[in-house]
Amino acid sequence: VFMAFYGATVLLKFIFSLRNKKELWTKKSAQKKTIKGLLALMEGRWKSSQRLLEKSAPNSETALINYLAAARAAHEQDDDDKRDDLLRQAHKSTPKADVAVGITQAQLQYSRGQYEQCLATLVRLRKLAPKNAFILKLLKQSYLKLRDWNKLSNLFPELRKLKVGTADELNLLEQQVHIEKLNAAISSSSDKSEHGKREALNSVWKAIPKRLASAAPVVTDYVNHLITLDDETTAEKVLRGVLKKHWDDSLVELYGLVAGVDIEKQLLLAEGWLKERPNNAPLLVVLGRLALRNKQWAKAKEYFEAGIQVCPTAQAYGELARLLASQGEAEASNENFKLGLALMADGLPELPLPQEASVAVS
């Protein structure tokens, strides 16, 4: 009896030993195939990578990694059905890896241009991991691709909270978003009349945060729309209000292109700015233009000439040349036109021309 019991024990140990050796060999084989599959993936050998990773996944200790990498390999072969099947197997192998599987799926959908599907995946993932910065980044990129400015606009508090991008990057992006919203208000207004477009435009403008309502790119876009809609009165009022608190040369230049309710007060206001900035070239050109609106020809000429002395620009020369031409000073006008054209041509490369000739501009 003892010998029989002892023999059975030895036999069982032998059987278990064989089984353990087989399992160990299987795991080692799976590990080797996994490594080969990952190397193939890095080398861009998609078909080989998918085959090795998928085949070794059931016996691999990293089955989740195998299936996710295999899904990427299938994706690179444009086999979306197989990609999605492998992602399902990845989730089945590790049910608690919802976020990892979902992020991989969203990345692959995004790279394929499947932005709607990607967005649906990301919305689901946000419920599982609301503080995941990478999910938020992908969501931001998806809204950009889909041009969903309203949804993207609502995302900025969280983007800043989770620091998805630098402060400067987020500020520039937020400006872009509100500019796009202003543009969309004009193009998508149900009322196609100028009045209807103005109403839609002003509705969006009023909803813009105050800190952005003074940003030069946003203000410029809004004012240009107002000018197009023949509402220079509002444009002048907006520019005046912004420049009172935030000086910007580009907005000053725009101020010289609009006519408010009282053009005489406009000129007086700009002359007040000049006392604080006596050598501001853009402001001097603006003053010349405002003087022209007020039919103060001598003053306009002085301002244009002063602007040229501070910083010669094509616009300053052009305005002065046009004024001189209207006063019958053709020779002086032509000379200023030439000087302005020379400045415009400064950025042109040196190329052969048929002949040298002086062209008179009248």
Q: How do residues 178-227 score in pLDDT, each as one tens digit?
A: 999 999 998 877 767 888 899 999 999 999 998 899 999 999 999 999 99
Interatomic CA distance for residues 77 and 40, integer angstroms:
14
Contact predicate 72/104, CB 8 Å: yes
Band of the pLDDT at 19, cuts 50, 70, 90?
Answer: low
- Give me the pLDDT at residue 360, please: 43
Helices (H) and strands (E) in the chain, counts: 18, 0
Task: Name the least confident of 109-123, 204-218, 295-309, 333-347.
Answer: 333-347
Residue 4 has pLDDT above 80, yes or no: no
The amino acid occupying position 331 is E
Percent of the residues in the chain that have a pLDDT greater than 90, as a whole number: 60
Mean pLDDT over each residue of the chain, to the nearest integer: 87
Write down the pTM of the prediction. Answer: 0.78
At 47-57, the pLDDT tens digits run 998 888 888 88
Q: Which residue has the higher pLDDT, 8 or 361?
A: 8
Q: Give the mean pLDDT of 157-166.
A: 93
> Which helix (H) or strand (E) covers residue 238, if one does?
helix 232-245
Task: Name the least confident of 46-55, 143-152, 244-253, 281-290.
Answer: 46-55
Band of the pLDDT at 359, cuts 50, 70, 90?
Answer: very low
- Give me the pLDDT at residue 187, please: 84
- Give me the pLDDT at residue 358, please: 44
Band of the pLDDT at 290, cuts 50, 70, 90?
Answer: very high
Interatomic CA distance for residues 205 and 344, integer angstroms:
35
Residue 361 has pLDDT above 80, yes or no: no
Q: Give the mean pLDDT of 265-278.
A: 93
Residues near 61 by Cβ (< 8 Å), separated by ≥ 6? 27, 30, 31
Residue 14 has pLDDT above 60, yes or no: no
Which residue in 242, 247, 295, 246 sits closest to 267, CA to CA?
295
Residue 300 has pLDDT above 80, yes or no: yes
